[in-house]
Amino acid sequence: MNPRFRHVLPTAAACLLSSGMLLAPATAQTTVPSLDKARGAIKNADARASFDQQMGSAPIPDGFGTQLPAGFSRELLLSQLTPGIDRKRVVLTGAKAWPQRPGGYVAVACLAASAEQAQRALRYPSSQCDGENDSSGNEIWFGVFDRAADGSVQLVARTEAAVTAGTDWGHTNIDMPQAMELDDSKTPPLSRPQSWQRFDFARYQLRNGDTAFGVRAGWSEGYAGGGASFEALYLFHIDGKALRVVFAQPMMFNKMIAGDWHKDGTRSHDLTDGSNTLNVLPGTTAGYHDLQLRERNGKWRQTWRWSEASQAYQLQ
């Protein structure tokens, strides 16, 4: 199993899982008689890809473009995206061409909380921006660049500070990480990601000539005989010289929980998964296209509309 499953559940959570008491809604559940039957039982393509990475049977893609395009360098990205930041904290820089913006690129810089943490992280290089034990272990910054006629690249907009926006788990059909399920707080749970994983360049056209780019972020948890992964989508919108988060919602989960042992030494496993898609609707609110979050191969759906007050999308 992928070593990223290092977040072990508290004893109470493990007991709930082993007894089959899932606190959050489950989209699709299947029981297989042995672990080698698990992959074939996962029909959801997003969940199957996540499972392959968890089990180490598929490489984690270079979703942030750590092999930098021509004209980009580590020092260029750091000087433009994170001015004044201690360079010894840097664990990752990346850039990729943005298909929705001809000549445009989206870039990222990932920093550990300290130089000591960065040294530990760099012993095991990753194409993702991972925290050590929780979401407090990393900082992430994004920027948009355009390539000039002479081939040089120029900064268009960037996040004005490290991204701290949490994913809202209060209105979703997606199972949430167990640590949040056990939280006694009465308010809808918001959680910063444990890892930032890759750019999402689907066509998120908010207005004519104004397209957002996506970033996929995730959480993982591990426990005896199984594990789970969760994924969210963040949309970043160019607002003058600033990049702002305008949408952050759960998009996918995949759980595998070990069950009964059999006489031949195999063990049953309960598989639960689900995922959503985000569609841009023809209708508009305050000039911005409405968004529909919709269950893949299901009936659940939500409509999100632009809020002038918050300058972001809100559930309607």
Q: How confident is the model at residue 92 (pLDDT cuts 50, 70, 90)?
A: very high
Diameter of the chain measured on Cα atoms: 70
Task: Compute the Cα dihedral for 252, 284, 237, 244 and give only its sign.
Answer: negative
User: Which of 265, 243, 252, 257 has its CA nearest to residue 296?
Assistant: 252
Residue scoring higher pLDDT (21 or 148):
148
Q: First-to-last CA distance in the chain?
A: 40
Cβ atoms of residues 91 and 121 within 8 Å: yes
169 pLDDT above the threshold of 60: yes
Q: What is the DSSP letter of 8?
A: B
Q: Can you give the pLDDT at residue 284?
A: 98
Q: Can you give the pLDDT at residue 178?
A: 81
The CA-CA-CA angle for residues 97, 103, 108, to 5°, reads 40
Q: Can you give the pLDDT at residue 226?
A: 78
Q: How confident is the model at residue 20 (pLDDT cuts 50, 70, 90)?
A: very low
Mean pLDDT of the chain: 83
By mean pLDDT, which of 7-21, 241-255, 302-316 is the weakest?
Answer: 7-21
Q: Can you give the pLDDT at residue 257?
A: 74
- Number of residues in the chain: 316
SS3 56: coil
Q: pTM of the entire structure?
A: 0.83
Q: Can you give the pLDDT at residue 232?
A: 97
Q: Can you give the pLDDT at residue 36?
A: 59
Q: Can you give the pLDDT at residue 271?
A: 77
% of the chain with per-residue pLDDT over 90: 57
Q: Can you give the pLDDT at residue 309?
A: 96
Phi, psi of 157 (to 5 degrees): -160, 155
Q: How confident is the model at residue 182 (pLDDT cuts 50, 70, 90)?
A: low
Phi, psi of 303 (to 5 degrees): -115, 130
Residue 135's Cβ-count burial label (10 Å; 0-12, 13-18, 19+) is: middle
Residue scoring higher pLDDT (264 or 63):
63
